[in-house]
Structure 1
Amino acid sequence: MKYLIFAIALVLASCAQKPTKGTSESPVVARKDSQKAKLTQQTVILDVRAPFEFNMAHIPGSINVAWEDFSRRSPDYRGLIEKDLHPIARRLALVGIDPQTPVLVVGKGLAGKGEEGRVAWTLESLGIQNVQIANVEDFRERRESHEMQNKTFWTPKLDESMFIGWDELRAKIEGTTYFPSKARRKSLGAGALPIKDEYYVVIDVRSKEEFSIDNLNKRTPRQFRFYNVDWREFLTENLDPNPAIMKTLNEMGISQNIEINVISNHGVRSGTVTWALRKLGYTKTRNFAGGYEAVRFNKK
C-alpha cells in the first residue's frame, strides 16, 4: 500500500506547475562568468564584423559598423580619422550615441584584426566616455526590449593625446625638432635642430612575420627604441586589457611615465593596443593611426 501512495505522490509532483523564470534586466547575457562587460538597457551595441557575418547572426538591436566609417577615404591615409567630425557625430547621434552613452563594441575577438579596439579608440578620441569591447561569441543572441532613441546632435572635440601624426613621429625618430605648423617653421627661418628625446618608445604590434618583412628599422638608419609585440598579447581572451603585458613592458624598461607610440599597417591593431594600454594606466600611449601606409621618410 505504501508503494502505491509513493507512486501517486510522484505523479502529482510531476504535474505540479513549474515556477515562472524571471527575465534578466540586462539586455544581453554573457556566456562566460569571466566576461566583464557591464550592460544596461541604455547600452548601444556596435558590431564590427563584415556585413555578411552580421546578417547571418547578430545580437538583436546591435548596429553593424566598420572602422573605416570613421576614417578618411584616401587610400594612402585611410587609417586617419576623418577631418570633419560633425558628420560622424551626427551619425552617432542618430543611432543613440552621445558622449555619455555606454557603448559595447563586439566582433571576432582575437580571431579578427583588432577592429573592436580600433572603433573603441576612435569613439574615445571623439569624447565617448564609456566604451567596452567583447567577442560577439561570448554573448547569447537574446536582448530584452530595446528601442533605439536618437540623441541630440553634439559637437565632437578630438582628443589629440590619443594619437600622433607622422610629422611628429618622424621628428622623434630622426632626432629633429617638430614644429606644429609650416607657418611656425617658416617664422623661425631655420632648419630643424637636433634634439635628444629618450622618453618615448615605438611599439610595432603586427605579427613577427610582418615585422620581419618590413619595419621602421629597415626604412631609416636612425637608431631609436623600437620593439615588436603582437597586439594579441595586450588583451585577454575576453578582450579585456591584459595585466600580464605590464610585466613584459617593465622588462623592456617601459614604465607608465614613458610616451608609447604604437604602429601597425593601418592603425587598426595599434588603435586596439592604444585603447588597452590606456585602460591599464599607460596614459601617454598614442596611436599612429596612419600606420605603415602613411610612413613617408624624406629621400635624400
Structure 2
Amino acid sequence: MIAMTRWNTVLVRNTLALFLLLAAIFFASPSVAPAADLGVIEAGALRSTPTKWVILDARPKSAWEAGHIPGALSFSWDNYTRTDEKGVQFSSFPPQELARILAGLGIDEKTPLVIYGDADKSWGGEGYDIWLFSWLGHKGPIRLLGGGIQAWNSLNLPLVKGEEKATAAKARYLVDLKPRYLISTEDIQQHRGTFTLVDVRSTLEWLKGRIPGAVHIPWDDFYTGKERRPLPAAELKKLLTKHGVDTSRPVVYYCTGGVRSGYAWMAHQLSGLSEAINYKGSWAAWEKRSGR
C-alpha cells in the first residue's frame, strides 16, 4: 500500500512536470518573448497614411496583377512554400531563406506591415502571413486590413494593375523565432492530451481522415459578412464554446498545410484569448509521420 502511494506521488509529480514544460513551450514569459504587435487597420486609415506602412497582398499573384492596392507587394503563401525533403507539401521556406526574400523586398524585422486578402480566394493567406511574421519574430506592428480588398473596393479607392516599379531599398531581416506559435508533428504525437486540436478543414476532408481527438470547426466559420472579417471576440468565444473547446488550455489549429489554420490562429489571437498555436505541417505532415 505504501509502495502504491509513493508510485502515485511520483506519477503526479511527473505529470505536473510535463504540464509545466509544455506551458513553457507554448506560453513563454512575455518578459522574455513579447507577443507580436497585432491589430486591425481600416481602409480609410490606410488610405490616409500609406507611406507609414509596407502593404502585402496575400491573394494569389494573378489576383494581385488584376488589381491591387497602390504600392502593395505580392506575398501569397504559395510562392514561398514547397514540398520538403520528407515529401511534406506546403512547407514554408526555412526562416533564413524567408529572411533573404523579405530583405530583397525592402522589409526588415521592424518594418510596419499591413496585410490583406479576401479570405476566400486567398484561402486565409492573410492570416497565414500574419502567423508567419509572428513566428519569425517580427518586431514592427503587423496589421490586418479590416475587410480586405472588399472593404477597399467598397470605398471606391484606387487599384493598380500589373507590376509597379520597385522603389524599396534592400534591407536586412533579422529572424528571432518564436517557437510558441508553432508545434511539431512529434509534439502532437507525444503530448496530444495536453491541448485541444481544432481541425478547420472542410467537412469532406474531415470525414476522409483526421487526427484522433480533434474537434471540427470549418475555417470559414472564423470569418463573417460580405467583407469576410474575422469573427469578433465574443462571437469567436461563443463558436469555440459551442464545439466544446476549452480555451483555458492551449488550442492548436490545423488544416491541410497550415494556411487555413493560420487564418483561424489569427482570428484567435485578435480576439484576446490565450495565445494559440498553428500546426504548420498540418494534415500533410501528419500523413507522413513516423510510427504510423
- TM-score, normalised to structure 1's length? 0.68
Does the 8 A contact of 1:231 with 1:273 survive in 2? Answer: yes
SS at match of 1:77: coil
The gaps in structure 1 that reach 5 residues or longer are 1-27, 174-196, 218-223
Does the 8 A contact of 1:133 with 1:240 survive in 2? Answer: no
- Answer yes or no: is 1:66 the counterpart of 2:76: yes
- Answer yes or no: is 1:204 the counterpart of 2:217: no
Distance in structure 1 (CA, Å) of the matches to 2:190 and 2:122: 33
Q: Match for 1:156 among 165, 171, 175? A: 175
Task: Pick closer, same or farther for the CA change 1:288–1:252 going to 2, 3 Å.
Answer: same
Distance in structure 2 (CA, Å) of the matches to 1:73 and 1:299: 21
1:65-214 maps to which residues of 2 (within 5 A)?
A: 65-74=75-84, 76-83=87-94, 85-128=95-138, 129-134=140-145, 135-139=148-152, 140-141=157-158, 148-150=167-169, 152-173=171-192, 197=193, 199-214=194-209
Task: Pick closer, same or farther for the CA change 1:36–1:148 going to 2, 3 Å.
Answer: closer
Does the 8 A contact of 2:257 with 2:282 survive in 1? Answer: yes
Distance in structure 2 (CA, Å) of the matches to 1:215 and 1:278: 24
Offset at residue 60 of structure 1 (A): 1.9
Report what 2:223 is aligned to: 235
What do residues 59-113 of structure 1 show as CA deviations (whole Å, max 9, x unaligned)? 2211112213443542833433333x23322322332322222212222323541
SS at match of 1:157: coil
Once the two structures are overlaid, the 10-residue window that deviates more, 132-141 or 199-208, is: 132-141
Does the 8 A contact of 2:61 with 2:76 survive in 1? Answer: no
Distance in structure 1 (CA, Å) of the matches to 2:124 and 2:137: 20
Distance in structure 2 (CA, Å) of the matches to 1:214 and 1:133: 32
Distance in structure 2 (CA, Å) of the matches to 1:37 and 1:247: 33
SS at match of 2:68: coil
Does the 8 A contact of 1:49 with 1:107 survive in 2? Answer: yes
Instruction: Count matched residues.
Output: 236
Distance in structure 1 (CA, Å) of the matches to 2:49 and 2:246: 32
Distance in structure 1 (CA, Å) of the matches to 2:97 and 2:289: 32
Task: Pick closer, same or farther for the CA change 1:29–1:228 going to 2, 3 Å.
Answer: closer
Does the 8 A contact of 1:68 with 1:78 survive in 2? Answer: no
Distance in structure 1 (CA, Å) of the matches to 2:67 and 2:118: 13
Distance in structure 2 (CA, Å) of the matches to 1:29 and 1:254: 30
Distance in structure 2 (CA, Å) of the matches to 1:256 and 1:99: 30
Task: Pick closer, same or farther for the CA change 1:231–1:101 going to 2, 3 Å.
Answer: same
What do residues 28-75 of structure 1 show as CA deviations (whole Å, max 9, x unaligned)? 9837xxx99995422111112223222222222111122134435428
Greater Cα radius of gyration, structure 1 or 2:
1
- Answer yes or no: is 1:260 the counterpart of 2:251: yes
What do residues 240-261 of structure 1 show as CA deviations (whole Å, max 9, x unaligned)? 3532020122344434421111
Identity %, equivalent residues: 22
Once the two structures are overlaid, the 10-residue window that deviates more, 269-278 or 40-49, is: 40-49
Offset at residue 151 of structure 1 (A): 5.7
Distance in structure 2 (CA, Å) of the matches to 1:117 and 1:108: 10
AA matched with 2:102: L
Does the 8 A contact of 2:60 with 2:121 survive in 1? Answer: no
AA matched with 1:211: W
Does the 8 A contact of 2:231 with 2:267 survive in 1? Answer: yes
Does the 8 A contact of 2:60 with 2:122 survive in 1? Answer: no
Higher share of residues assigned helix: 2
The gaps in structure 2 that reach 5 residues or longer are 1-40
Distance in structure 2 (CA, Å) of the matches to 1:87 and 1:165: 20
Task: Pick closer, same or farther for the CA change 1:136–1:253 going to 2, 3 Å.
Answer: same
